[in-house]
Structure 1
Amino acid sequence: MGHMLIFGLGYAAGYLAERLTTRGWDVTGTTRDGRGGSIAFGDSAAVHAALRSATHILSSVPPVAGADPVLAAYGDAIALAPAAWVGYLSSTGVYGDACGAWIDETAPVKGRRADRNAADAAWQALRGDMRVFRLPGIYGPGRSILDRINEGRAHRIALPDQVFSRVHVDDIAGGILASFRGPAGVYNLADDEPCHQNRLVEWGCAMLGAPLPPLQTLDEAGLSPAARAFYAENRRVANGRAKRLLGWKPRYPNFREGLAACL
């Protein structure tokens, strides 16, 4: 079995780690403080030792303060590492606003966050065998609209033409596993049915028997800057390349099946 080194053992990467360990893989993860048996990100000796032994390397760490911390600290070592596979979890936010149109991996990178765009490009350029996975809104057990409804944090926003893509966390792991047998490149991992966020809220409330939150404008909802920025972009993310080249098929092709699994 292989040895996967994961920079940033968070929510999505944790699902991948679990699936690998059940297959007999050796998984090493980094966290800020080395909790739970992981390696502290700043422990250079331990990280470099793991880089030398890893057959697969994945970074799920987003840019911080304008720069990618993994590339800044270990980019040169990753570029020269003997691993047979290297991947990076990026964001479909690099595409920016598409006014609701379908976009694939050939779309220009023009997202609002220059640091996210730069990290995406830098990881692609790091090695010839890079896999970059661009992810839309991630949901799954403990992090879905069902949890926000239960906590009273769900909103219905009066933007009728707004469309978003999303992906279940288990399908991210599935896409990464499929890429072990596929070619390098950039892949969108998204479900098959982009839709308005209000549809999720309404479906989730019906599932839980909860009342619908009121329909509000962005100003009335009092959203945080990060949540408000979520509504500043409008796009449908195509996943055909991952299906064609990796043989990947989402286990949860739409939010209804994904939320049922969460419940």
Structure 2
Amino acid sequence: MKLTILGAGFSGQAIAEAFRTVTGDIVGTTRSAEKAEQLRQQGIRPLIFDGQAIDAALSARLAETTHLVQSIAPGQAGDPLLRAGVPPLATLCPRLAWAGYLSTVGVYGDHGGAWVDEDTVLNPVSVRSRERVEAEDGWLTAGDVAGVPVAVLRLAGIYGPGRNTFWNFEEGTARRLIKPGQVFNRIRVEDIGASALFLAERKMGGIFNITDDEPAPPQDVVTEAARLMGVAPPPEIPFETAQLSPMARSFYGENKRVSNAKLKALGFSFAYPNYRVSLADLWRDGRWRGRRSGE
């Protein structure tokens, strides 16, 4: 198995860690030499890729890749492997046996707190979510044309070692925003890696929600973290009066409960099925500090 990860950030590195149990041939792309060295220290062979032109080194690697994970957001220009002028997937990756595309549960849009699953009609609100829908469709179509199973992994809010509520307390940014009825799903980053490996080993394609079992109000997560730390939770702040960036406020404009039943029915078991189990695990051994890596 030769795994290539386009965009080896927070999620991509967790996927590499999971795949390391079955292969030592892992390449990950990044945009900077500094981050390339960080990948090298983690046993990931780095290639510099800015998400634009595919150079000779990356082209050569793609030609021998058997398993591919695409984690780079499309942006206005579209997906870097599906843009005009880029060879078809079968030409670019002639040995490809499976591909995974990392998307977001944001493609569902707002459903007023109702449950959604992979068959729910999409209602993307933000521009970035609409771009993700286009990229999802492009990858599924490219897989069909190439005869390669493509799994679209729709990820909930990602957290884990180095990126979590404990860090918010450490940095003085923890807040309890109250918007009645608002819930979010979350996903521990290690479960992203494990689910990608699960699907890859079975050569499964299609759309899969990668999320925990329990959508919950965001303030409950902050309160639980405070309890574990033995500190007082921050005061409640009404959403209407909270100072938020436009992007942060847009997240609160989408309210839904995302089901992971499809993946679990295939036999996958989440190691961190809810935020309480996960926060307790992170706090118990201090792994919450992790590496402060970006996506």
Whether the TM-score (by the shorter chain) exceeds 0.5 is yes
Instruction: Quote the RMSD (CA, aligned, Å).
Output: 1.8
Query: 1:95-106 to 2 correspondence within 5 Å?
Result: 95-106=108-119
- Which of 108, 114, 118 is the aligned partner of 2:134? 118
| 1:137 matches 2:148 | no
**Which residue number in structure 1 is paired with residue 26 of structure 2?**
27
**Which residue number in structure 1 is paired with residue 235 of structure 2?**
214
Query: 1:47-126 to 2 correspondence within 5 Å?
Result: 47-65=58-76, 67-72=78-83, 76-80=87-91, 81=93, 82-112=95-125, 113=127, 114-126=130-142
Please list every run of 5 or more consecutive structure 2 residues that lacks an aligned counterpart in the other structure: 38-44, 284-295
Distance in 2 separating the partners of 1:77 and 1:18: 29
Does the 8 A contact of 1:86 with 1:130 survive in 2?
yes
Query: 1:9-48 to 2 correspondence within 5 Å?
Result: 9-34=8-33, 35-36=36-37, 37-41=45-49, 42=53, 44-48=55-59
Q: What is the deviation of 1:158? A: 2.1
Does the 8 A contact of 1:48 with 1:77 survive in 2?
no
Distance in 2 separating the partners of 1:73 and 1:248: 37
Q: 1:72-110, CA deviations, whole angstroms, 9 ceiling, x for partnerless residues?
A: 288534343221001100000000001111100001122
Distance in 2 separating the partners of 1:230 and 1:262: 25
Does the 8 A contact of 2:97 with 2:203 survive in 1?
no
**Which residue number in structure 2 is paired with residue 148 of structure 1?**
168
Could you state the TM-score of these two structures normalised by the residue count of structure 2? 0.83
Distance in 2 separating the partners of 1:66 and 1:213: 41
Q: Classify the secondary structure of the residue corresponding to 1:64.
A: coil
Distance in 1 separating the partners of 2:106 and 2:116: 12
Does the 8 A contact of 1:51 with 1:78 survive in 2?
no
Q: 1:17-55, CA deviations, whole angstroms, 9 ceiling, x for partnerless residues?
A: 122224333101111135225111145111111111111
**Which residue number in structure 1 is paired with residue 248 of structure 2?**
227
Distance in 2 separating the partners of 1:141 and 1:165: 18
Identity of aligned residues (%): 38
Please list every run of 5 or more consecutive structure 1 residues that lacks an aligned counterpart in the other structure: none
Q: Classify the secondary structure of the residue corresponding to 1:252.
A: coil
**Which residue number in structure 1 is paired with residue 286 of structure 2?**
none
Distance in 2 separating the partners of 1:13 and 1:104: 24
Once the two structures are overlaid, the 10-residue window that deviates more, 50-59 or 77-86, is: 77-86
**Cα distance, 1:159–1:97 mapped onto 2, change above 3 Å:** same
Could you state the TM-score of these two structures normalised by the residue count of structure 1? 0.93
**Cα distance, 1:75–1:262 mapped onto 2, change above 3 Å:** farther
Once the two structures are overlaid, the 10-residue window that deviates more, 210-219 or 229-238, is: 210-219
Distance in 2 separating the partners of 1:149 and 1:111: 32
Distance in 1 separating the partners of 2:76 and 2:9: 19
| 1:189 matches 2:188 | no
Once the two structures are overlaid, the 10-residue window that deviates more, 2-11 or 19-28, is: 19-28
Does the 8 A contact of 2:107 with 2:122 survive in 1?
yes
